[in-house]
Amino acid sequence: MFIIPAVDIKNGQCVRLAQGDFDRVTVYAENPADMARHWAQKGAARIHIVDLDGSVAGLPKNAAIILDIAKSVSVPIEVGGGIRNMETISYYLENGVSSVILGTAAIQDEGFVKKAAQAYPGKIILGIDALGGQAAVRGWTQKTSQNAVELAKRYEHCGIQAIVYTDIHRDGMETGVNIEQTRGMARAVSIPVIASGGVATLADIDALLAVTDCSFYGVIIGRALYTGAIVLEDAIKKTLQTSSHQEEEKHG
């Protein structure tokens, strides 16, 4: 399971929102690229980048910063926010971004998402953000009547790399990851699932690693890393220890 630091960008700064509320912003760094480099140097094997301004506008707003990050870190970056057409996907993937995240488009244009997954197999991630099990779009500003799990099932077997499943109520609140809903998503689909939203302490990492009837591709951590509630190296160490222990059990 990958430990994936989040770098959210708003007005050119590295920020965290509380429950996706654009009026509840905390700025953690003036330069998001410096923050991404910091996490890479601390051992992150992957970094999650979100263009918050782009997610609302429907087109990239911080692309120059994102490409700077792509060029300056040696680890893969996944990017979401305002990616609604093939031109934007191509632009990012051809300039150093490893994977792009499609959220709003997953609900509003199924054909486009499947076309993108076929054109760039293993490079497209579904961003499914949920309020009470229902998907939300446009930077979480609009709730829909679409059930999150049913939405995910529509994209089985079309080349999707992973699903980032976020519990909006918990995101940025450090109230604990929603194990049951995330587990429900992981059990319902064959697409690898990345847990997101509410990770507060190393106990949340332990809880995800303790799930035995499914596995998680990764977990995104935001505010808890920035406040120091979780030390990145400690979280990575836990995943490595669990992986090593599981291998030992497998081979007797």
d(C-alpha 92, C-alpha 159), whole Å: 18
Q: Which of 51, 53, 68, 129 is catalytic?
A: 129
Q: Is 21 a catalytic residue?
A: no
Given 8, 68, 167, 204, the catalytic residue: 8
Pairing between β-strand 2-10 and β-strand 13-18 as defined by DSSP bridges: antiparallel
- In terms of C-beta density within 10 A (0-12 exposed, 13-18 middle, 19 or more buried), how is residue 156 classed? exposed
In this structure, the chain runs to a length of 252
Q: Does the active-site annotation cover 129? A: yes
Annotated catalytic residues are 8, 129
